[in-house]
């Protein structure tokens, strides 16, 4: 069966969290259709997820006429890359965007206030209403951004992911303090620090089946003291699953944001995946892409993203702890699967060829594995000192096949 062949005159977007904001902005600009935006004020949106990659800022620039002054409205900062500390390898490196290209950090709460205001002023109808079934929605097509699924029926769990809980502490400051996302390997997992205008958002990702929240809380305090981030009692601790929906694209609706997937936030992949899903909806409308093809591309995209995230555990960290002992073999299994992809082997070959005398532009715009061009793999292979391991795994695979 082919995809969306009927004429779409009206699209309803359900959900006003970060995914709903990105979808409403994108579809208003991209489709020649009426947009209705529905949310339930009784059901609050997530207040985490504050680091982006390049498509978010570029999208808002194109769709909403946003420029750098919008960073004030978003309490945000510019992001030139992700600094990674404490992993075995170089020990401290920046996985950076190409020079001249930037992403942003943003306060998710401020984004969820600001984007509806802008879209309201551009004529988008925003309706406060709890939707209990898609049948209640009067629209030709629905983008369902209603957040975490109520149960995991119809979802696949991520295979390799090693963390399943988060402990977030907001550190007050007159910021932003730096222009990259900070990530630091720790004994029980890893910590991100996102620089915002009035706070640095620090989050500890760990495995609740290996370490307790008390241990993590103590180590978070130690981290914040070490890096001089003032501690506060603005704290949020919760457990999560990593998953993706088997059928994201259907005849009646496409699911996006947490309603479609979640993977641990290393490398800020959610907003890029949200953008990918939105673009695929338009491809389904314009290019006759079937639901089956779109769903299979999505499953592949999520798998590639998980593979890339797991590379960060492949060489371990400066800590020999039960968490890292648990994560490393999972990373090895993930990397073994990764090298079976022709696309990954081509991208890795280009990254490895550039190792001695890199030619940066030759590693951009020549394909991506997940959301990353060879330039990203080149930087991470170096930073994590995993080039030899990847090369060995590729040879092993090629000899055995």
Ligand X SMILES: Cc1cc2nc3c(=O)[nH]c(=O)nc-3n(C[C@H](O)[C@H](O)[C@H](O)COP(=O)(O)OP(=O)(O)OC[C@H]3O[C@@H](n4cnc5c(N)ncnc54)[C@H](O)[C@@H]3O)c2cc1C
Chain residues in the site for ligand X (CB under 6 A):
14-20, 38-40, 43, 45-46, 48-52, 130-131, 145-147, 166, 203, 240, 257-259, 265, 268, 270-271
Nearer to ligand X, 241 or 286 (CB): 241
Sign (positive/negative) of CA torsion 277, 279, 285, 289? negative
Residues in the chain, overall count: 401
Q: How many helices (H) and strands (E) does the chain have?
A: 11, 17
CA 230 remoteness from chain centre: 27
Q: Residue 87 gets which letter from DSSP? A: B
CB of 194 to ligand X, least distance (A): 6
> How far is the first Cα of the chain from the last one, in angstroms, to the nearest whole number?
34
Tokens of 339: 């090298």
CB of 339 to ligand X, least distance (A): 27
Alpha-carbon gap, residue 46 to 299, rounded angstroms:
24
Q: What is the CA radius of gyration of the chain?
A: 21
CB of 185 to ligand X, least distance (A): 16
Beta bridge partners of 85: 92, 184
Q: Residue 278 gets which letter from DSSP? A: H
Nearer to ligand X, 15 or 75 (CB): 15
Nearer to ligand X, 45 or 390 (CB): 45
CB of 348 to ligand X, least distance (A): 25
Query: Is the backbone of residue 288 left (phi > 0), alpha (psi -120 to 50) or beta?
Result: left
Nearer to ligand X, 17 or 316 (CB): 17
Alpha-carbon gap, residue 321 to 195, rounded angstroms:
29
CB of 18 to ligand X, least distance (A): 4
Nearer to ligand X, 162 or 258 (CB): 258
Tokens of 1: 């069966």
- The answer to whether 222 and 190 have CB atoms below 8 angstroms apart is no
Nearer to ligand X, 204 or 324 (CB): 204
Beta bridge partners of 189: 186, 206
Nearer to ligand X, 42 or 357 (CB): 42
CB of 291 to ligand X, least distance (A): 21
Nearest to 318 by CA among 84, 88, 83: 88
Nearer to ligand X, 175 or 387 (CB): 175
CB of 210 to ligand X, least distance (A): 18
DSSP 368-401: -BTTB-HHHHHHHHHHTT-HHHHHHHHHHHHHH-
Nearer to ligand X, 176 or 203 (CB): 203
- The answer to whether 174 and 199 have CB atoms below 8 angstroms apart is no
CB of 163 to ligand X, least distance (A): 9
CB of 42 to ligand X, least distance (A): 7
Backbone phi and psi for residue 253, each to the nearest 5 degrees, phi listed first? -150, 155
């Amino acid at each position: 069966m082919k995809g969306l062949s009927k004429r779409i005159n009206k699209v309803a977007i359900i959900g006003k969290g970060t995914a709903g904001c990105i979808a409403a902005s994108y579809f208003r600009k991209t489709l020649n259709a009426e947009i209705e935006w529905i949310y339930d004020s009784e059901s609050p949106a997530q207040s985490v997820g504050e680091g982006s990659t390049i498509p978010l800022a570029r999208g808002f620039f194109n769709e909403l006429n946003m420029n750098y002054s919008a960073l004030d409205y978003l309490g945000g900062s510019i992001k030139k890359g992700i600094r990674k500390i404490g992993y075995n390898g170089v020990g401290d490196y920046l996985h950076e965007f190409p020079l001249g290209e930037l992403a942003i950090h943003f306060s998710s709460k401020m984004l969820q206030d600001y984007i509806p205001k802008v879209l309201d002023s551009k004529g988008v109808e925003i309706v406060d209403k709890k939707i209990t079934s898609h049948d209640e929605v009067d629209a030709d097509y629905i983008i369902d951004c209603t957040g975490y699924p109520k149960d995991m029926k119809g979802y696949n769990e991520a295979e390799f992911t090693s963390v399943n809980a988060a402990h977030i502490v907001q550190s007050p400051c007159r910021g932003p303090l730096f222009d990259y996302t900070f990530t630091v390997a720790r004994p029980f997992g890893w910590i991100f620090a996102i620089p915002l205008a009035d706070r640095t958002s620090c989050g500890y990702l760990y495995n609740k089946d290996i370490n307790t929240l008390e241990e993590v809380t103590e180590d978070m305090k130690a981290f914040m003291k070490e890096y001089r981030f003032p501690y506060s009692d603005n704290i949020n601790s919760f457990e999560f699953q990593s998953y993706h929906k088997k059928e994201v694209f259907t005849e009646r609706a496409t699911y996006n944001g947490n309603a479609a997937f979640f993977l641990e936030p290393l490398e800020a992949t959610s907003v890029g995946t949200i953008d990918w899903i939105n673009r695929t909806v338009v491809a389904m409308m314009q290019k006759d892409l079937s639901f089956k093809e779109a769903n299979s591309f999505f499953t592949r995209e999520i798998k590639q993203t998980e593979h890339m995230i797991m590379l960060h555990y492949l060489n371990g960290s400066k800590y020999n702890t039960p968490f890292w002992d648990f994560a490393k073999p999972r990373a090895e299994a993930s990397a073994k699967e990764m090298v079976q992809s022709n696309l990954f082997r081509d991208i890795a070959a280009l990254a490895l060829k550039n190792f001695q005398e890199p030619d940066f532009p030759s590693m951009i715009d020549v394909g991506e594995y997940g959301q990353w061009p060879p330039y990203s793999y080149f930087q991470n292979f170096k930073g994590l000192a995993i080039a030899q391991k990847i090369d060995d795994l590729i040879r092993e695979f090629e000899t055995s096949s």
